[in-house]
């Protein structure tokens, strides 16, 4: 009986000590499926306003796919290309448009050979919330990737406003 009381006492102590330390843990913001869906749909809607069909992939801060939306009449290549742009942006924490010229810059010749999913094409944007990377969006299908980037920027700004 005394053994059971000791176990209860240890368990109770562990519970309280965990509670005390838990409030010292930093807040981690995460990409939700709802936010990912909304940012993808807003980007697609923005491009549709310009009569451009695109597909959109949204990944979390680790580059894992959270949401994908294939736009009407987009090519099959937009599925993987939009993911790779989002993955690249989340992994390297910058817009992919900043990487386009990097392959020609001194010291960066190996950047494009990092891994299979790194793609150095404009159209991937990191998504920050309160200065914390929560994910990225990748867009593909427009005749000019700068159009994709603008649609993505508009969608992120619309949802995060001044919060980003």
All domains of the chain, ordered by start, with CATH?
29-163 (3.30.450.150)
Inform me whether the pLDDT recorded for 8 exceeds 90. Answer: no
161 confidence band (pLDDT: 50, 70, 90): confident
Inform me whether the pLDDT recorded for 154 exceeds 70. Answer: yes
Residues 95-116 have a mean pLDDT of 75
Give the model's pLDDT for residue 30.
95
Beta partners for 67?
Answer: 58
Give the model's pLDDT for residue 2.
58
User: Cα separation of 92 and 33, whole Å?
Assistant: 22
Listed range (14-23, 26-35, 80-89, 128-137) with the worst mean pLDDT:
14-23
User: Cα separation of 153 and 89, whole Å?
Assistant: 13
- CA distances (Å), 120 to each of 24, 72, 74, 82, 161, in order? 39, 25, 20, 12, 27
Mean pLDDT of the chain: 88
């Amino acid at each position: 009986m005394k053994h059971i009381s000791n176990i209860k006492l240890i368990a109770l102590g562990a519970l309280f000590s965990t509670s005390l330390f838990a409030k010292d843990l930093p807040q981690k913001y995460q990409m939700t499926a709802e936010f990912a869906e909304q940012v993808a749909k807003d980007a697609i809607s923005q491009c549709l306003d310009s009569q451009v069909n695109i597909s959109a992939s949204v990944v979390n801060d680790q580059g894992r796919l959270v949401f994908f939306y294939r736009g009407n009449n987009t090519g099959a290549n937009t599925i993987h290309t939009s993911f790779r742009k989002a993955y690249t942006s989340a992994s390297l924490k910058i817009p992919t448009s900043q990487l386009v010229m990097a392959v020609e810059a001194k010291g960066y010749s190996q950047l494009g050979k990092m891994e299979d999913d790194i793609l150095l094409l404009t159209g991937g944007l990191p998504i920050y919330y309160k200065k914390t990377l929560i994910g990225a969006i990748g867009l593909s299908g427009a005749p000019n990737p700068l159009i994709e980037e603008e649609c993505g920027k508009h969608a992120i700004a619309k949802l995060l406003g001044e919060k980003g």
